[in-house]
Amino acid sequence: MAVTKIFFNARLKLMMVLAAIAGGVIALRLVDIQVLRHQAYLEMAERNRTQIIYQTAPRGRVFTADGVAVATNEPSFSFYYLGGSQDPIYLEQLAKDFAPRLKMDPKDVVDKLAEGARTGKAVLLAENLSTKSTVSLQELQLYYPGVYLIEETKRTYPYGGFASHLLGYISSMDDREWRNRDPRMGYRLTSKIGKNGIEKKFEKQLKGTDGGVYLEVDYRGRVTSIIQDKKWSAGSDVYLTLDFKLQRAAEEGLKNSKTGRGAAVALDPRTGAVLAMASAPAYDPNIFVPYSDEENPNQSKKINEYNLAIQGIYPPASTFKIITGAAALEYGHLDVNKKINCPGFYDSGPRVFRCWGKHGPMDFFDGMSHSCDVYFYQVAAQTGSAAIERIERKFMIGRQTGIDLPGEKAGNLYGPTRRARNKTYWFIGDTLNLSIGQGELLFTPLKMAQFAAAVASRGNVYRPYYVEKIVSNQTGKTEVLGKTEILQKADLKPETYDLLFKALKHTVEGGTAARVWIKGLDVYGKTGTAQNPHGEDHGWFMAFAGRKGEAPSIALAVFVEFGEGGSSAAGPIARAMLEAYFDLEQPAAKPAVKPQAPVRSDEDYQELLTSGEEDGSLSEF
């Protein structure tokens, strides 16, 4: 009997302990629900009580420096059915009336409507509809309860391919982007994000805060009322440094050039601001954001995203004679008035290098303006390759410009130092090739523009920048990004720059760069024709200019791939850009200096001088 009583008391104590533990667990759970995570559970319950039809916020706009909106938004509509009637006759009639306007099969519309009627949840029938297609839909809304048009926005680029490689485009997220998204940004599966260029780089600033219609639903998920229509907040606006007319002139020029392929870049030589950056062929970013109710052929696979302005690398050809001349002037190996005879070729001993013409006696200014190869062969032979390489380094040749764009290539510096490091020989032929911008030397069009700006500013090598400021549409706050930064100083003697300016102006007033002579402006320029072993030669034109008597306010580089001649292919584009920038209407340009016939005075050289490539090709004698 005593044993039974003891056993009973033990069980009773155990049950009391278990009850106490259970009570404690319940108490802790209540504290968790009511205190610790009260807000989270409240939001969860609210979500169970409501449905949200999201409204995509307008992306921030993109403006040029002169206030032209080159990326903006236009109205777009989504069409929803909010449940209600389950009458099949009603649903079939609704589908019959709406399907043609939505450009959908009536059966597909009936299936969607039936699903919405069965679940009582909002069903998206169509999205990204244009304004013109919604007029009749709005009228039908009056006769069919339960249908609802939601106004949203769609990205649009009003000038098509304008600065397309710089602006970029938006499109739907892929799996990787969805996994790596920032949850604080409010992205949804249907969200579109920047994929390239400015649209990608400034995605965080350009993306707005989406709005939406909040719908109250019953315990079965059926819509009972509209609780709130929450307005979106637009993204921030980005203001570029681009000049609209200048950019258009560059793009039109490249498009209408001999090959339609190339790049043009213009910089402000006082600050480093990018005034224009064009790459051809361009593409229209509107093809990534079409209206769903319009005919939109699939062109997205045909676009060329390669930005030749920062990724294309080519020999600078005769534009490099500026550096060769600077080296000779800087290190005292050049008498600018001394005449050097050009018979059409230069015999270096083991090899013969030919010129594109028989120029006769040339001083420094004539040699630059007529782009005489023989003159610069002799100057380089006297100056030495090491001196030329030192000037290259002063202008940061072979290094990236520092612009804040992904994918920029550095090009290649060419000189004896690298050969020495690699324990290989440097020959006289390398020096001669270097002197006229051939061989292993490589520039991007942006690097050429940076070089032109550095000469124009008498030595300031600026970091190029293309965004001036970002303005918030929510707070009105302005974030200034445009910043002038000198990366390096090409500290040549003042008289060196004086003579270079004089020679480059002489080249415009009566030499190969005469196509950019413009009344009322001080224009300085140089042409180049880069050899191409894979086809036609490439054409270069670099220039800088200012109003008469003023410091240069623009520096530019134009490159036409397979354009053959720098003067003929790139010159007209450079001229059009200068006219656009200075807002000028000009008569026809002066004709450029025409190439002279190759020399024929020596019978032994005749075959040599009438064959091979122009502008510095090598031939064995």
Q: What is the pLDDT of residue 600?
A: 30
540 neighbors 529 (Cβ within 8 angstroms): yes
Task: Tell me the residue type at 194.
Answer: G
Tens of pLDDT, residues 108-152? 888 887 877 777 677 788 888 888 777 777 777 667 777 778 888
Whether residue 595 is predicted with pLDDT greater than 60 in this model: the reply is no
Q: What is the pLDDT of residue 594?
A: 45
Q: Using only C-alpha atoms, what is the Rg of the chain?
A: 35
pTM: 0.82
Beta bridge partners of 237: 471
**Which residues are CB-neighbours of 5 under 8 A, at least 6 positions away?**
none
The CATH architecture that domain 50-240 belongs to is Alpha-Beta Complex (3.90)
Tens of pLDDT, residues 554-567? 999 999 999 888 88
- The sign of the CA dihedral 389, 393, 395, 400 is positive
Cα atoms in the 13 Å half-sphere on the side-chain side of 427: 9
CA 587 to each of CA 474, 572, 576, 579: distance values in angstroms, whole numbers, following the listed order: 49, 12, 11, 11
Tens of pLDDT, residues 24-80? 777 777 766 666 666 655 554 554 567 778 888 899 999 999 999 999 999 888 888
Whether residue 365 is predicted with pLDDT greater than 50 in this model: the reply is yes
- pLDDT-derived band of residue 243, with 50, 70 and 90 as boundaries? very high
**Average pLDDT for residues 448-475, to the nearest whole number?**
97
**In the 3-class helix/strand/coil scheme, how is 468-517 assigned residue by residue?**
EEEECCCCCCEEECCCCCEEEECCCCHHHHHHHHHHHHHHHHHCCCHHHC
Phi, psi (5° rounding) for residue 291? -75, 145
**Average pLDDT for residues 370-394, to the nearest whole number?**
96
**In the 3-class helix/strand/coil scheme, how is 75-122 assigned residue by residue?**
EEEEEEECCCCCCHHHHHHHHHHHHHHHCCCHHHHHHHHHHHHHHCCC
Domain boundaries, the chain: 50-240, 276-284+305-609
Q: What is the pLDDT of residue 36?
A: 62
**Average pLDDT for residues 568-584, to the nearest whole number?**
96
Whether residue 217 is predicted with pLDDT greater than 60 in this model: the reply is yes
Which is higher by pLDDT, 218 or 265?
265
Tens of pLDDT, residues 97-117? 888 777 788 888 888 878 777
**In the 3-class helix/strand/coil scheme, how is 233-284 assigned residue by residue?**
ECCCEEEECCCHHHHHHHHHHHHCCCCCCEEEEEECCCCCEEEEEEEECCCC
SS3 of residue 30 by DSSP: helix
Whether residue 616 is predicted with pLDDT greater than 50 in this model: the reply is no
CA 118 to chain centre: 49
Tens of pLDDT, residues 3-23? 566 666 677 777 777 777 777
- Mean pLDDT, the chain, integer: 84
> 276-284+305-609: same fold as 50-240?
no
Whether residue 330 is predicted with pLDDT greater than 70 in this model: the reply is yes
Beta bridge partners of 267: 274, 555
**Average pLDDT for residues 461-473, to the nearest whole number?**
97
Q: What is the pLDDT of residue 303?
A: 75
Tokens of 380: 């380089």
Measure the CA angle with vertex 52, ends 49 and 57; round to 5°.
Answer: 155
CATH code of domain 276-284+305-609: 3.40.710.10
Beta bridge partners of 149: 79
